[in-house]
Structure 1
Amino acid sequence: MNYIGIDVGKFNHCCAVMNSEGEVLVEPFFFANNSDGFDALLHIIKPFQSSRHMSGLESTGHYGDNLLRFLLANDFQVGIINPISTDAKRKQKIRKTKNDKKDSLTICAVLQSRDYTHMTKNKLSLREGKQLTRYHHDLTASLNQAKNKLQKCIDIVFPEYNSIFATKYSKAYMAVLKECGSAKVIRETHLKHLKKIVSDASHGKINSDYPTRLKESAKTSIGEDNAVMTLEIKQLIASIELLMDQLDIVDRKIEELARTLNSPIFTIPGIGWITGMSILCELGPIDNFSSHTKVIAYTGLDCAVYQSGQYNADKTAITKRGSPHIRLSLYQAALPLCRFNATFNEYYNRKRSEGKSHRCAQGHVVRKLLRVIFKLLTENMSFDSALCK
């Protein structure tokens, strides 16, 4: 068995090759973090690929991502190592030394002890999915923040504005704000031009009395004549439109990746592409867990234990350890699950009839969902309500 250890750096990586007996087959050497460097690496380590081998690198930041994809594309077996394991192996030596060349040999030793996570192309897709879904959450948070700021500005310059439109953030709603920005400007805008703004934005579908109502409301508005707020409104709308376009592109990419993965999680009624991908990718490979209880603990949805002496708390909060993104997605999934999925709806109502609060019953639904997901993924089966009673 040959072990190919690579110490990752920003500009240069260091590689060494060792066999099962601890004999160094290739002394540590540096190669650049570019195509020429990768080609040079491949030329040196290719002969060791034909026999049993395992290459490995530490999971430290993003500097090794391109190298990881390169190794997988060239059919190398790759293990991802926790830096804690490398550090523990390094501390076993009497003499305290750390440099890139020695670290590449240390990584070989860690690979030999099998203390790594085997990376595959499918697992890499899950990692890319995690980046996408987290970016979706970031864009959504930025969009909500921009919308909240917009509403604050509207409350100052035209507080009656929202009562005119049936739907916030419709094309007509945004177009009028983008063009005018305040009650004062709407009062000064000719009604014919106001009608054109609304008609063009809605493609003539919106009720024609909206511009008239806007004009009348603007005349009696208590809104402040604030040029700064008007400018901020126009710029916030530009930001909101940009964020909505970006979110649409990201969501389409998530759906495309979800269809490629074709996971059983998407057979659960009430689980959409984005929510399902977020849960799936935050969990990672299901073979990392030996039971559903470990999945629940990993997501931080297990109840904390508080015991001291003779005292043992009957009620404790959840631990909230691990990724907050997966808890957000799970709780967001709970409501549509109870609405569109008879199995989860019945379970929620049963918990409510037992005297549980809405939030507590929702937590039970989320934990049931994780148990169901664990079964579907481990057995690679589609959702069947008859098996989830």
Structure 2
Amino acid sequence: MKLVGIDIAKYEHAAFIMEASTGESLCDPFFFKNNKEGFKKLYTELNKYSKNELLIGMEDTGHYNFAIESSLLAEGYKVALINPITTKSLRKASLKSVKSDKEDALLITKALLDKAYYRIISIQDEKLKEAKELTRYRTQLTLEMNRKKNVLQRHIDIVFPEFNTLFNNEYTITYLNILRKYSDAYTIAHTDIRSLRKCFKYCNSFSAEELKELASNSVGIHDVSISFIIQSVISSIDLINSQIEELDKKIEELAITQASSITSIPGISIITGTSILAELGDISKYSNAGKVIKFAGVNPYISESGKFSADKTAITKKGSKYLRTTLYRVIIPVIRHNPAFNNYYHLKRNQGKGHLCALGHCVRKLLRIIYHLETNNLSFDINSLK
């Protein structure tokens, strides 16, 4: 087996080729640019060997490796990704004080000697990459939306602290309509009642007259700059909402092509189901459900020394943070809508487990079920868990 280590950079990559059985260097470390000519240079070296005797590894660097990774998979090469934390640990273990692209290419090549250090990726992983990009961007937009809402609430508390008491649910059509046009208590109090009524839509909990009276007696201050910020933030919220709606359409279109049964599990939507599958990648590369749990970073640490064994440990939190975020977000509706999970959650609570610990047990149970469904092309059956 010939091992090829590629150190990924933005404009120029470094590569090294080694014979796995002897550790012999088959070429000097070389550079190739992240463009068409650079790729040709790499393939010139790779073509000296048959594809089935090559294993090509690189760090999972986020996005700089996408182009070369896609190209190699399309050409039929066996490609492996290595966690950058692994190479960092190997560098420390080797006691090397020098860090260069050529040295890193050599280090990545040596990491391919141990199967525990890397994971093989496939064409299926490439197909899921588009879904991963969309679902991750949706998560980022959701977080940005939450930040904007926090900013909005802070400024509402300054100019009209009583405003939220009128609403059972915030961010309704009427809620946003009022703030778009009249962003503080002073403006509302001095606005004609007929103009205020135009903001009301599907709102039966209070009237324009009640809003005006509340604003007239408000302790909020009149500040033009804060009113401007409120209207600006609402414009941002509107934009993010429209972007999320468009993203959801794209994600749903991709989900149709995947033909997965994950949404047959009560509590999992098309969006969250697609996000979970996209982060896991090609499910066939996991030999058992335990590998899936480990990849998600929701397996508990094992802390043992001599006769000591810790009763309580945290989860490892390795792997994709987006996957863990989605799993812990989706497990609540899964427990709520699925009697089997609801019973399992309360079983763990009755055993003395804390809330988060019980959720962790449910997340691992969910991953085992997802693995079983996806590998056997089955739909969820509540009766099978009784």
TM-score class, shorter-chain normalisation, is 0.7 to 0.9
Q: Provide the residue aligned with 1:246 in structure 2.
A: 243
Q: Is residue 236 of structure 1 aligned with residue 240 of structure 2?
A: no
Distance 1:4 1:311 in 2: 42
C-alpha deviation, 1:185, in angstroms: 0.6
* SS at structure 1 position matched to 2:176: helix
Matches of 1:97 and 1:318, distance apart in 2: 35
For 1:258 and 1:45, how far apart are their aligned partners in 2? 39
Instruction: Determine the C-alpha separation between the residues in 1 that align with 2:25 and 2:303.
Output: 51
Report the equivalent of 2:11: 11
Paired position in structure 2 for 1:319: 315
Q: Which consecutive unaligned segments of at least 5 residues does structure 1 have?
A: none
Closer, same or farther in 2 for the Cα pair 1:319/1:250, shift >3 Å?
same
Distance 1:155 1:82, change over 3 A: closer
User: Aligned residue for 1:365?
Assistant: 362
Structure 2 counterpart of 1:221: 218
Partner secondary structure for residue 318 of structure 1:
coil
Matched position secondary structure for 1:52:
helix
Confirm or deny: 8 A CA contact 1:86 1:110 kept in the other structure.
no
Q: Does 1:170 align with 2:167?
A: no
Q: Is the 8 A contact 1:71 1:78 kept in 2?
A: yes
Is 1:73 equivalent to 2:74 in the alignment? Answer: yes
Partner of 1:151: 153
- Mapped partners of 2:76, 2:364: distance in 1: 38
Alignment of 1:344-383 (within 5 A): 344-351=341-348, 359-383=356-380
1:23-76 Cα distance to aligned partner (Å, 9 max, x none) = 87776554322234335545x257457653435242152322211122223333
Task: Identify which of 163, 167, 190 aligns with 2:192.
Answer: 190
Task: After superposition, give the CA deviation of every residue in 1:238-277 in whole Å (9 maximum; x if it has no partner).
Answer: 2222222233333333333333333343332221123223
User: Do the aligned partners of residues 29 and 167 (structure 1) sit closer, same or farther apart at CA in structure 2, a change above 3 Å counting?
Assistant: same
1 CA distance for matches of 2:280 and 2:49? 31
* Letter aligned with residue 347 of structure 1: Y
Write the letter of the residue equivalent to 1:223: G
Structure 2 Cα separation of the partners of residues 108 and 299 of structure 1: 25
Letter of the structure 2 residue corresponding to residue 69 of structure 1: S
CA RMSD of aligned residues (A): 4.0
Query: Structure 1 residues 295 and 19 mapped into 2: Cα distance closer, same or farther (>3 Å)?
Result: closer
Q: CA deviation at 1:120?
A: 1.4
1:336 counterpart residue number? 333
CA distance in 1, matches of 2:29, 2:159: 67
How far, CA to CA, are the matches of 2:249 and 2:270 in structure 1?
Answer: 9
Aligned AA for 1:319?
I
| Residue pairs, 1:56-205, within 5 angstroms | 56-59=56-59, 61=61, 62-82=63-83, 84=86, 100=101, 116-196=118-198, 198=199, 202=201, 205=202
User: Structure 1, residues 180-220: CA drift from partner, whole Å, max 9, x if none?
Assistant: 11010112222222233x16xx4xx5459733322222222
Q: Which residue of 2 aligns with 1:273?
A: 270
**Does the Cα contact within 8 Å between 2:300 and 2:313 map onto a contact in 1?**
yes
1:124 aligned counterpart, secondary structure:
helix
> Is the alpha carbon distance of 1:89 and 1:113 closer, same or farther for their aligned partners in structure 2, counting shifts above 3 Å?
farther
Taking the aligned partners of 1:387 and 1:69, their CA distance within structure 2 comes to 40
Aligned equivalents of 2:370 and 2:35: distance in 1? 40
Query: Residue type of the partner of 1:372?
Result: I
Question: Which structure has the larger Rg?
Answer: 1
When residues 35 and 189 of structure 1 are mapped into structure 2, their CA distance, relative to the original with a 3 A threshold, is: farther
Task: Tell me by how many angstroms 1:343 deviates.
Answer: 2.5
Percent of aligned positions with the same letter in both sequences? 39
Aligned length: 381
Cα separation, 2, equivalents of 1:307 and 1:112: 28
Query: Any gaps of 5 or more consecutive residues in structure 2?
Result: none
| Separation in structure 1 between the aligned mates of residue 289 and residue 51 of structure 2, nearest angstrom | 37
Compare 238-247 and 13-22 and name the one that shifted more.
13-22
**Letter in structure 2 aligned against 1:326:** L
CA apart distance, 1:152? 2.2
Q: Structure 1 residues 23-32 or 235-244, which shifts more?
A: 23-32
* Partner SS state of residue 268, structure 2: coil
Describe the superposition over 1:152-176 as per-residue Cα deviations: whole angstroms up to 9, x where unpaired. 2222211222233443212232122
AA of the residue aligned to 2:74: A
* Larger CA deviation: 297-306 vs 96-105: 96-105
Q: TM-score, normalised by structure 1?
A: 0.79
- 1:53–1:106 distance in 2 versus 1, CA, 3 Å: farther
Relative to structure 1, the CA distance from residue 51 to residue 173 in structure 2 (aligned partners, 3 Å threshold; closer, same or farther) is closer
Instruction: Give yes or no for contact 2:7–2:59 (8 Å, CA) kept in 1.
Output: no
- Report SS of the residue matched to 1:256: helix
Q: Deviations over 1:281-303 (max 9, x none)?
A: 44444455544445445545444
What displacement does 1:237 show? 1.1
